[in-house]
Structure 1
Amino acid sequence: MDRRSGLSVRLKLTLSYAGFLMLAGVLLLGAAGLFLLRQGWLRTNEEGAWRQSPGTELVRGFAPTAAAVMAFLLVFGLLGGWLLAGRMLAPMDRITHATRAAAAGSLSHRIRLPGRKDEFRELADAFDMMLTQLEAHIAEQQRFAANASHELRTPLAISKTLIDVARADPNHDTGELVDRLHTINTRAIDLTEALLLLSRANQRAFTREHVDLSLVAEEAAETLHPLAEKHGVTLETSGDIAPTTGSPALLLQLTTNLVHNAIVHNLPERGTVRVNTSVRPDTVVLTVENTGEQLTPHLVSTLTEPFQRGTERLHTDHAGVGLGLAIVKTITQAHDGTLTLTPRPAGGIRITVELPATSSPSDAGSGPL
């Protein structure tokens, strides 16, 4: 935005200090003049003679002194105001430098303003915190973009290779080629849809409605029950009514991802998945717990990163696109919730999603917020 040049803040403060000091001097000298004038009238009335008017005496005796005092106050106010304004605005120079550095792309720069807490230091600390979060967000986005490009390039490269082989060998079995291309294309579509869902949740581009997590959990469990039977996994659901607000579709996707992961990454046989909802004083909790191989805390801490998979996930038919728990994390954050992953001592993992609680629609009304 183009702006016309104006007075600096330091000069404005200097003129304000000097003006205020001059005004105070005028009022003080005016009060002194009125006092002397009143004393002159009283003395004249007591003596009963009129030698000269009180005004003339005031002008001759007080006016030069008042003029000298006002000149001193003007110079002192301008000089002192300039120095005080410079000292008070010194932190702004560091904040401005950091802002310009950030605008130029240097997000690693920090103000780190020393001294006790005041308005300038609160501003500097808030700016430093914003830069830290922005730097972390951009680094995460860059890492995600690189991983997404790699993941999308893989099925495309495989498809190109299969097509080149088919073109070089006209007698090649086209049925097998079509099946493999269909599988690869399905994976690419799933990955693209997952990326779009992740972007939508990250932007919070959804309407908030009243949602009962217990009903969402039941719907997800019912949908995935055939998959659980196929894998020989027992799927159990329980819990209380858990009212919250958010996107029904995104919360269903969150729950479905959790239950799906719990089913496919389980014991080879006689595995168990438990889905539970509960209510706390200010939050509602969705817990998905499954049996499985023992996981280290370090491995568990990486599972919510995009395209991060455990070793066992890379060599199964259900490796997915590597965004299941990343989507869960993003949806949870978009709903102002917290996601906790804890390895079970006996094997498997317990995942807890905690969201802000709200009154039920019957108590607080229904519909978009």
Structure 2
Amino acid sequence: MVNIVPVSGQGFRPYEVHIGRGLLADAGERLADILRTRTVVVADENVARTHGATVIGALRRAGVEGALVQVPPGEASKSWRGLERLCDALSEQGLDRKDLILALGGGVVGDLAGLAAALYMRGIDFVQLPTSLLAQVDSSVGGKTAIDTRHGKNLIGAFHQPRRVLADIDVLATLPPRQLRSGWAEVLKHGLIRDAAYFEWLAGQGASGASGDPDALEPAVVRSVEIKAAVVSEDEKEAGVRALLNLGHTFGHALEAELGFDEAILTHGEAVAIGCAMAFRFSAREKLCAPGDANLVESTFIAAGLPTRLDGLGGFSADALLKRMAGDKKAEGGRLTLILARAIGDAFVQRDVDDAAVRSFLIEEGAA
């Protein structure tokens, strides 16, 4: 069975997210109505080895000789240099504005290939084929594309919605356990922002998804995509409610930046897990939510094998973290904006957060 979640909203063409098993092998059939004679599959070198032949074979069965363009794995590819190299490769393939890009991989490839598609010939169509859990439930849906700079994560980008998303649950079996848990952090985040009953299921019956159980992963991906699709449909450009999807990210991005985006030390999902736990602890500290909610959030992330505190990551300066947070995309005029919570399932945007309160909190959390 394939679940289809529609994504629509003002200002962009509606599309579908297909969620099920064996979708990469059926990609030619599922994309038949939008395939082009010249279709380029962009994948990192690791994903290309694992899944490249499956997708190219699916395209051939649909009568399309797809070309495979590989990029180096890792966050370093989301850079000016990585974007330049990819755009050069698209030009070498002779793509024009009526052709198609397939982004095959995790969030790095989806962000990079999506931004290249937004810029190349002033915009060509692309499809997301996410191969990581994090990408399936988060970065492949909603049209955010970006690269990093030395000043921060995802600072240069564009909104460019995909034509379709194929989320194949089977490919998640090839993920290392740490990467699967990293994606699970984003799954938990969706429950925290909008659906307390979903979070309760994830913490209980559905918790086996964090260990790779496909019978738990599939409904988790479906529900997370439904939540994200609903938010994106309300607010494509993050003028309001879409900022809720960044729960945990202001703290998390600051940690990632201070660590040089080194995923050997801290993956993005691990940073989000710490950030979500910190957001709830700060909310409880400010008497916005019950301490019991913050404790439950922390224990659920820990049970999933995810970090919730700064311990073991090295020393952090509270002032350095604050500076990173002030440069976050949600900040306005240098004033902090945080996603906080009144309860599990009830997140909200808090603007003009007091710097002194956050600095004091960071010191309590272990920053110097």
Q: What's the TM-score once normalised by structure 1's chain length? A: 0.21
Q: Higher relative CO (CA 8 A, sep ≥ 6), structure 1 or 2?
A: 2
Higher strand proportion, which one? Answer: 2
Higher helix proportion, which one? Answer: 1
Whose Rg is larger?
A: 1
Q: What's the TM-score once normalised by structure 2's chain length? A: 0.21
